[in-house]
Amino acid sequence: MFSRIYVLRFPRETSDQPIICKLVKQYEVDFNILKATILPHDEGLMVLELIGHKNNIKEALDYLKSFGVSIKSVSTIICRDDEKCFQCGACTGICPASALYLHRPDMAVIFDPEKCTGCGLCVAACPVRAMEVSLNQSVNAIKQ
């Protein structure tokens, strides 16, 4: 599964149409509305997390663009609290980008933030919650 957060700006002409509901039916993606300010016949703003297969999300985004919706991807940043991490390695087997891996021969868990895609799978796998998701500064400004 793939998950990404987007900032959507709806033109006033389409702000009163059920565009987001069709994403679930037509493109088999789930969504989580993080923020929304949409009024009929006025420009709308929505911060939306889309969850699904990468190709389905791409098709869903193309669908939104066909209605004149402006889309900006919001990056997530994964951070590791080294004081909490006890080097169990649970995160290394689930990381699809190999940003978390075991260094041999000392078996230390290494986190390479440059390789990290921000998928968040390691956050759920970490038994002591040493891995955390944070959003970039522009999203924090939108959420306020």
Domain of 115: which CATH number? 3.30.70.20
Between 136 and 109, whose confidence is greater?
Answer: 109
Return the pLDDT at 88.
95
Residue 51 lies in a domain: yes
Tell me what the mean pLDDT of segment 47-54 comes to: 89
pLDDT above 60 for 140: no
Do 29 and 8 have their domain in common? yes
Q: How many domains is the chain built from?
A: 2
Do 31 and 65 have their domain in common? yes
78, 114 in Cβ contact below 8 A? no
Do 50 and 83 have their domain in common? no
Q: Please state the length of the chain.
A: 144
3, 29 in Cβ contact below 8 A? no
- pTM (whole model) above 0.95: no
Do 100 and 51 have their domain in common? no
Residue 6 lies in a domain: yes
CATH of the domain at 44: 3.30.70.260
Tell me what the mean pLDDT of segment 101-112 comes to: 93
Residue 143 lies in a domain: no
Residue 11 domain boundaries: 2-74
Q: 89: burial class by Cβ within 10 Å (0-12, 13-18, 19+)?
A: middle
Burial 6-42 (b: 16+ CB within 10 A, else e): bbbebeeeebeeebbeebeeebebebeebeeeeeeee
Q: Tell me the pLDDT of the chain averaged across its residues.
A: 85
- With CA atoms as reference, report the closest residue to 13 among 39, 38, 41, 36: 41
Tell me what the mean pLDDT of segment 130-141 comes to: 63
Do 93 and 64 have their domain in common? no
- Which residue, 51, 74, 97, sits at the end of a domain? 74
49, 34 in Cβ contact below 8 A? yes
Do 87 and 65 have their domain in common? no
- Which residue, 26, 52, 74, sits at the end of a domain? 74
Residue 138 lies in a domain: no
